[in-house]
């Protein structure tokens, strides 16, 4: 595995690979890698000649300074996992390499970014689009791989790519879960053992909805969910939403629906979602 810390050297390497007609898959991450990230790498390796993984804890997408400060950064373990997964190139830039002090980013995605995560994490998607645009410019890959776990982020990046005519195919990969259903997340390490159990309520809720949406009306489903969360201490429901899976607008029919959930478990914020069809 080759490690690049400078954007210009990586850019020239990618141009060289493109000239050699090597297909390139890009997997952007913030590190603290787990099996969810590795599934994206596996998919990219299957579909491309060369897989590039980036690890960068992007400060501009954190609206909460303590969340950024405590974000895990186990770089040695990550590098071992990447080598083992057969990653060809790791891009590991510093903050100075990615940002200049005076720069501005004005791109507004629009409605899709101002809802759900956009409400609870103001400015989050501005930071996401800012860094993803930079990564896509430095690494002109043919495909980029993202997880359904951050589904709204995936749609926001689709808008970004369409807006700037970036010639890249975006691939959305399924959510990887623990055996008991908890969606893998780099933030799960912050959960104590009792909180880890309580965190299962997110997946249990989504499974309950998936199993019952054809039998019960949405308001009844929501009523049960709200009661379940109210009776669980140390867990705060932020949102549960039935949305159109293409537009994230409130649904007209349940067929194309995705259900998205976010909750605080102790001081850890978790998100999850499930498609209903
Ligand atoms: P992050 O390092 O959290 O920025 O995530 C990097 C990529 O991994 C994003 O596209 C995430 O959606 C994806 N990802 C995170 N968790 C999972 C998971 N449990 N299953 C599949 N993909 C995931």
Residues 150 and 128: beta-carbon distance below 8 Å: no
Residue 127 pLDDT > 90, yes or no? yes
Residue of 273, 65, 276 whose CA lies nearest to 149: 273
Q: How many CA atoms lie within 13 A of 104 on its CB side?
A: 3
CA atoms within 13 A on the CB side of 109: 28
Report the pLDDT value the prediction gives residue 255, as an integer from 0 to 100: 78
Nearest CA owner, ligand 1 atom 6 = 29
Q: How confident is the model at residue 256 (pLDDT cuts 50, 70, 90)?
A: confident
Residue ranges per structural domain of the chain: 2-173, 186-272
Residue 132 has pLDDT above 90, yes or no: yes
Confidence of residue 277 (pLDDT cuts 50, 70, 90): confident
Tell me, rounded to whole angstroms, the distance of Cα 8 from its chain centroid. 26
CA of 207 to the centre of ligand 1 (A): 20
Decide: 168 in ligand 1 pocket, CB within 6 A: no
- Rounded to 5 degrees, what angle do the CA atoms 183, 55, 86 make? 80
pLDDT in tens, 190-217: 999 999 999 999 999 999 999 999 999 9
- Ligand 1 within 6 A of CB of 147: yes
> Which atom of ligand 1 lies closest to the CA of 39?
21
pLDDT in tens, 70-118: 999 999 999 999 999 999 999 999 999 999 998 999 999 999 999 999 9
Closest ligand 1 atom number to CA of residue 30 = 2
**Looking at residue 92, what is its pLDDT?**
98
Report residue 266's pLDDT band, with 50, 70 and 90 as the boundaries: very high
Q: What is the mean pLDDT of residues 22-51?
A: 98
Is 34 one of the catalytic residues? no
Query: pTM (2 decimals)?
Result: 0.97
Q: Which CATH architecture has domain 2-173?
A: 3-Layer(aba) Sandwich (3.40)
Residues 6+ apart with CB under 8 A from 157: 128, 129, 132, 144, 146, 170
Share of the chain above pLDDT 90, in %: 97
Q: Assign 254 a pLDDT band (cuts: 50, 70, 90).
A: confident
CA of 152 to the centre of ligand 1 (A): 12
d(CA 9, ligand 1 centre) in Å: 26
Residue 24 CB less than 6 A away from ligand 1: no
Q: Which CATH class is domain 186-272?
A: alpha beta
Which of 40, 41, 52, 189 is the pocket-test mutation for ligand 1 (most atoms within 8 Å of CB)? 40
| 8 A C-beta contact, residue 96 and residue 10 | no
């Amino acid at each position: 595995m080759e490690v690049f810390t400078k954007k210009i050297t990586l850019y020239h390497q990618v141009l060289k690979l493109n000239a050699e007609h090597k297909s390139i898959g890009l997997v952007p991450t913030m590190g603290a890698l787990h099996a969810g990230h590795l599934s994206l790498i596996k998919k990219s390796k299957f579909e491309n000649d060369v897989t590039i993984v980036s690890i960068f804890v992007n400060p501009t997408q954190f609206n909460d300074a303590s969340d950024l400060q405590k974000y895990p950064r186990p770089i040695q373990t990550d590098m071992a996992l990447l080598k083992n997964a057969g990653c060809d190139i790791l891009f590991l830039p510093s903050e100075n390499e990615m940002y200049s002090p005076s720069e501005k980013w004005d791109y507004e995605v629009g409605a899709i970014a101002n809802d759900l995560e956009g409400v609870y994490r103001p400015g989050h998607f501005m930071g996401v689009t800012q860094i993803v645009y930079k990564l896509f410019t430095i690494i002109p890959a043919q495909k980029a791989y993202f997880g359904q776990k951050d589904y709204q982020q995936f749609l926001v990046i689709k808008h970004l790519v369409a807006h700037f005519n970036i010639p890249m195919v975006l691939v959305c990969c399924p959510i990887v879960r623990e055996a008991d259903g908890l969606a893998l997340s780099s933030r799960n390490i912050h959960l104590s053992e009792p909180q880890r159990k309580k965190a299962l309520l997110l997946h249990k809720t989504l499974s309950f909805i998936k199993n019952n949406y054809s039998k019960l009306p949405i308001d009844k489903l929501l009523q049960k969910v709200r009661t379940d969360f109210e009776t669980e201490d140390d867990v705060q429901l932020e949102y549960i939403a039935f949305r159109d899976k293409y537009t994230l607008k409130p649904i007209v029919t349940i067929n194309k629906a995705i259900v998205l959930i976010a909750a605080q478990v102790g001081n850890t914020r978790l998100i999850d979602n499930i498609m209903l069809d």
